[in-house]
Chain A
């Protein structure tokens, strides 16, 4: 369920997360991961708080957030489907699989379906290269992805 949360609540929860983690050596990435786990993205409000708490400029925080493909500036779909696009998967028909997934979902990579069910993302290696092609749906991994496996994945997305 996607629920709208108020800016005040984002601020409050961000403060809590940042206070819990700021004692770490190099706390930035743990904080960003925690924020994204909490909100589904890294909210703008939170960037300001990170900057204050870690004694950085907002530009520096923004620079870090935008460097890493994992961090989003807006919510993705309820599910995230990652299709491996790297060489070992290419050797086992990864490009054909990618085309088929795009066709089935009606979206391209980096896009979200209109019903917010799923965001499609490329990934460069899941370490499942001896059972290629590979995919990951919300942390669940799939190897030797064929038509049957793909319908299973699409079924999971529909839930």
Chain B
């Protein structure tokens, strides 16, 4: 009987040497004349264990990791193909605590299947949502999504069903589904993992969105920094077309839908939906004023759904299992599950999908295991470069849109960057302003000019030039940017800056004063 070995091809696994491991395993198989099939799966999202090699056994999949090429001969000698013990053996994959504690709905197949196998996809409940959707009226699909309580996972948290309803009711000969896969926030990689690890789920979600709203064309706009995701997604689209999931007759129905993938060119601001639409049209990625809403005048001025990857990839399970099933997870107005990405200086970094409501402390200390360096956690930045820095004192904050907003933060795309006690939060505040200055599209003054003035003002505080006056000036500048900017780039840059000043005042001490104290 053929034995199946899984070696991930996720970009993070590759970054940790998975390709060399796969080559070494193939070499041993050939040298030993064994009947073994290597499947290049996505990642399970436990990056401290990558490259994580799995073997299918009668009892389930056994995990070994982190595997280096030099470990491969000893794995074969120990009989890992039969699931035998080895110093790198982690037991059954599904029993690893980090995985066992999760509720994987959106990521149920990621790391499990061959990302480009339609048979695998079907075997693990793929296309069940779309099969239901093709038999439903558009308004029924929109109602199901509305009832599920799904809110935009890109960061803004806008109810997905309401957006779809607007596009469904909009008149126009051509409507579009645009998937925002421009995942530029530091500490986030959920979109990348889906595109590399389970691309068909995104395609299925986009097709359902198309049927629901009357859109027949779709675009995935992703980043040039994600070459592996672009390659996998592009191949998946071709396979889906050949399988009749895309094309003039979706699954043999009267619905038509087709799509393609487009790459951005290194501009962070293109993750903002109106800037993304301009970029997709071939213009400079300049933010558009709203209204008009993209739902009414989006891509090429036509009605357009712009949804994040995770929002769209959550649609198939909602359609398959029903709105009530999904809505039963979560807390308050944050329904369903959220793939939390634990990153930076953390011991157990990775993707943890769970219902909303875990406290920040549980996520960072218990699931993440504290810092990788072993030093105390000083701060965590939640929600990317526009998210607030949280001190330990706020670790009781539940992971929920409203709870974070109430503490002057945001969950954004659910990335958490952990910092140990060597971090200087004044430096991080300066970086937030610097990043905004680098990435500003230039359309509005508070963002374009304010960010540069912000860097200068932090520099003055650092240099000990009228520090109290300049701290007040920085707070005033943040207020102007927050309320005067056209989009979230200028509008949210104050979050990291103000949170750093508010929660870490001891870091806002000038260098000369530090020297004098020493």
Interface residues of A (CB under 8 A from B): 25-30, 32-33, 54, 63-64, 67-71, 82, 86-92, 123-132, 134, 136, 139, 141-144
Which of B15, B189, B192, B381 lies at the interface centre, i.e. has the most chain A CB atoms within 10 A of its CB?
B15
In Å, the complex CA distance between A26 and B415 comes to 31
A131 in contact with B284 (CB, 8 Å)? no
B322-348 vs A, Cβ < 8 Å mask (1 yes, 0 no): 000000000000000000011111100
Q: Which 7 A-B pairs have the closest CB atoms?
A: A28-B282, A130-B349, A143-B15, A68-B265, A86-B186, A129-B343, A69-B266
Q: In residues 430-477 of chain B, which contact A (Cβ within 8 Å)?
A: 431, 435, 438-439, 441
B423 in contact with A128 (CB, 8 Å)? no
In the assembled complex, the CB of B59 is this many whole angstroms from the nearest CB of chain A, namely 29
**The residue from B15, B265, B384 contacting A131, defined by CB atoms under 8 A apart:** B15
**The residue from B48, B226, B286, B300 contacting A25, defined by CB atoms under 8 A apart:** B300
Pull 23 A–B residue pairs with CB atoms less than 8 Å apart, ordered by A.
A25-B217, A27-B282, A28-B281, A29-B264, A29-B265, A67-B286, A69-B266, A87-B344, A87-B381, A87-B385, A87-B417, A89-B344, A90-B431, A91-B420, A92-B345, A127-B189, A127-B225, A128-B15, A129-B349, A131-B349, A132-B345, A134-B15, A141-B14
Please indicate the chain A residues that have their CB under 8 angstroms from the CB of B385 in the complex. 86-87, 124
Known contacts A29-B282, A68-B265, A91-B344: does B186 contact A142 (CB below 8 Å)? Answer: no
Please indicate the chain B residues that have their CB under 8 angstroms from the CB of A141 in the complex. 11-12, 14-15, 228
In Å, the complex CA distance between A143 and B349 comes to 13
Please indicate the chain B residues that have their CB under 8 angstroms from the CB of A130 in the complex. 12, 47-48, 189, 341-343, 346, 349-351
Q: Closest residue of chain B to A126, judged by CB?
A: B225
B280 at the interface (CB under 8 A from A): yes
B417 in contact with A142 (CB, 8 Å)? no
Q: Closest residue of chain B to A123, judged by CB?
A: B225
Please indicate the chain B residues that have their CB under 8 angstroms from the CB of A89 in the complex. 186, 344
**The residue from B48, B286, B299, B341 contacting A129, defined by CB atoms under 8 A apart:** B341
Q: Closest residue of chain B to A56, judged by CB?
A: B282
Q: Closest residue of chain B to A143, judged by CB?
A: B15
Please indicate the chain A residues that have their CB under 8 angstroms from the CB of B16 in the complex. 131, 143-144
In the assembled complex, the CB of A119 is this many whole angstroms from the nearest CB of chain B, namely 14
Given contacts A67-B286, A128-B15, A143-B15, 13 further A-B contacts (CB under 8 A): A26-B281, A28-B281, A28-B283, A29-B265, A68-B285, A88-B417, A90-B428, A91-B418, A91-B420, A124-B184, A130-B351, A141-B11, A144-B16
A29 in contact with B262 (CB, 8 Å)? yes
**The residue from B14, B50, B225, B346 contacting A125, defined by CB atoms under 8 A apart:** B225
Which of A27, A30, A123, A141 lies at the interface centre, i.e. has the most chain B CB atoms within 10 A of its CB?
A141
Known contacts A87-B187, A131-B47, A141-B14: does B420 contact A69 (CB below 8 Å)? Answer: no
In Å, the complex CA distance between A71 and B224 comes to 11
**The residue from B191, B266, B300 contacting A70, defined by CB atoms under 8 A apart:** B266
In Å, the complex CA distance between A145 and B406 comes to 38
Please indicate the chain A residues that have their CB under 8 angstroms from the CB of B282 in the complex. 26-29, 54, 64
Please indicate the chain A residues that have their CB under 8 angstroms from the CB of B441 in the complex. 67
Q: In residues 242-290 of chain B, which contact A (Cβ within 8 Å)?
A: 262-268, 279-286
In Å, the complex CA distance between A63 and B285 comes to 10
B435 in contact with A124 (CB, 8 Å)? yes
In Å, the complex CA distance between A30 and B224 comes to 11
A125 in contact with B343 (CB, 8 Å)? no
In Å, the complex CA distance between A74 and B378 comes to 44
Known contacts A87-B428, A124-B435: does B15 contact A70 (CB below 8 Å)? Answer: no
Q: In residues 346-400 of chain B, which contact A (Cβ within 8 Å)?
A: 346, 349-351, 372, 381, 384-385
In Å, the complex CA distance between A29 and B265 comes to 8
In Å, the complex CA distance between A144 and B343 comes to 12
B107 at the interface (CB under 8 A from A): no
**The residue from A25, A30, A82, A91 contacting B419, defined by CB atoms under 8 A apart:** A91
A32 in contact with B265 (CB, 8 Å)? yes
Please indicate the chain B residues that have their CB under 8 angstroms from the CB of A67 in the complex. 267, 284-286, 441
Q: Closest residue of chain A to B387, judged by CB?
A: A87
Which of A87, A136, A144 lies at the interface centre, i.e. has the most chain B CB atoms within 10 A of its CB?
A87
In Å, the complex CA distance between A68 and B15 comes to 26
Please indicate the chain B residues that have their CB under 8 angstroms from the CB of A91 in the complex. 344-345, 417-420, 423
A70 in contact with B265 (CB, 8 Å)? yes
B265 in contact with A129 (CB, 8 Å)? no
A131 in contact with B186 (CB, 8 Å)? no
In Å, the complex CA distance between A9 and B11 comes to 37
In Å, the complex CA distance between A20 and B188 comes to 35
In the assembled complex, the CB of A7 is this many whole angstroms from the nearest CB of chain B, namely 25
A87 in contact with B431 (CB, 8 Å)? yes
Please indicate the chain A residues that have their CB under 8 angstroms from the CB of B204 in the complex. none
Please indicate the chain B residues that have their CB under 8 angstroms from the CB of A27 in the complex. 282
Please indicate the chain A residues that have their CB under 8 angstroms from the CB of B266 in the complex. 68-70, 123
Q: Closest residue of chain B to A27, judged by CB?
A: B282
In the assembled complex, the CB of B276 is this many whole angstroms from the nearest CB of chain A, namely 11
Please indicate the chain A residues that have their CB under 8 angstroms from the CB of B184 in the complex. 124-125
In the assembled complex, the CB of B114 is this many whole angstroms from the nearest CB of chain A, namely 21
B267 in contact with A68 (CB, 8 Å)? yes
Q: Closest residue of chain A to B16, judged by CB?
A: A143
Q: Closest residue of chain B to A125, judged by CB?
A: B186
Which of B192, B417, B419 lies at the interface centre, i.e. has the most chain A CB atoms within 10 A of its CB?
B417
A129 in contact with B186 (CB, 8 Å)? yes
Please indicate the chain B residues that have their CB under 8 angstroms from the CB of A131 in the complex. 12, 15-16, 47, 50, 349
**The residue from A26, A28, A33, A139 contacting B300, defined by CB atoms under 8 A apart:** A26
**The residue from B47, B186, B228 contacting A124, defined by CB atoms under 8 A apart:** B186
B417 in contact with A129 (CB, 8 Å)? yes
Please indicate the chain A residues that have their CB under 8 angstroms from the CB of B300 in the complex. 25-26
In Å, the complex CA distance between A91 and B345 comes to 6
In Å, the complex CA distance between A124 and B438 comes to 10
In Å, the complex CA distance between A124 and B184 comes to 7
Please indicate the chain A residues that have their CB under 8 angstroms from the CB of B350 in the complex. 130
